[in-house]
Amino acid sequence: MLDDTIRVLAGDCTVMFDGTDREEYRGRVTTIVKPDNTVLVHDVDGYQPVAWLTRADSVATDRNGGFTLVAKKDVQTLRIATHDREGFTNYRASPAGTPVGACPTCDGTLVRTDGVRCVDCHERYAIPADATVREEHCDCGLPRIRAERGLAFDVCLDRSCESLDDAVREAFDREWDCPDCDGDLRILRRGGLIAGCERYPECENGFVVPSGVVDGTCACGLPAFDVGTDRRCLDAACDRLVESPAAD
């Protein structure tokens, strides 16, 4: 697991980069080491670093005879040697995202980034990429999310509190027939949510349940989905026309 700190080194430094060519710079610079070992050396000019190494294999410091920071990746080496070190310290860091509520564990801010994370205690909740975070809250104190999987489901952000899988299963398990053998399609998790034939392995039909709401029936007999910008069959490979939904 990556550290949650950003290391910062500032001062009068010589910066040496060895790769296909050798480059050397000197000046009062600030070096930033991110939690994934990406090293960025910034001077006073422009937005682009003077030197950098992305996701180094190792980053080490040497305090013998001065202060040196060395980052290595494959055949590349970035070395920062200080002549007048103004500071070297660590700062707590977290992903930055859109605020979506308060963390019930520590009262920190929850942000939408890769999932939803707390900027203070770093608690992380995985959610579908297409889900929206609601203003309403679950009884546990977390926000609720809305995701469309045949219907629009509102469930707790914490899947261990309320499961989207369970909600989809309750709504659609055995509701659709397999187009090849007429067996029931079961709602299963196999990496993602799928509607798989109950007669597996004799029948290997399995269809990923798309984001969107059921909106009529395809010509093949499977449900059609309104996915926002288009309509599609449950079977993503189906090349038959999708019928219009029946009029009320």
Q: Where are the alpha helices (DSSP H) in the chain?
A: 164-172
Sign of torsion over alpha carbons 81, 84, 90, 93: negative
> Of residues 118 and 242, which shows the higher confidence score?
118
Per-residue pLDDT tens over the stretch 29-86:
999 999 999 999 999 998 899 999 999 999 999 887 678 999 999 999 999 999 999 9
Looking at every residue in the chain, the average pLDDT score rounds to 91
Average pLDDT over residues 210-215: 94
- Residue 227: is its pLDDT beyond 50? yes
Residues above pLDDT 90, as percent of the chain:
81
Report the C-alpha gap between 49 and 183 in whole angstroms: 61
Res 248: pLDDT: 44
pTM for the model stands at 0.73
- The pLDDT score that the predictor gives to residue 2 is 47
pLDDT level of residue 122 (50, 70, 90 thresholds): confident
pLDDT the model gives residue 247: 44
d(CA 14, CA 218): 67
pLDDT recorded at residue 33: 96
Output phi, psi for 169, to 5 deg.
-65, -45
Collapse the DSSP code of 77 into the 3-class scheme (helix H, G, I; strand E, B; otherwise coil) and give the result.
Answer: strand
The pLDDT tens digits of the residues spanning 167-185 come to 999 999 999 999 999 999 9
Return the pLDDT at 63. 81
Residues 124-143 have pLDDT tens digits of: 999 999 999 999 999 999 99
Complete domains list, the chain, with CATH = 5-92 (2.70.180.20), 98-168 (no CATH)
Q: Residue 104: left if φ>0, alpha if ψ -120 to 50, beta else—which one?
A: alpha
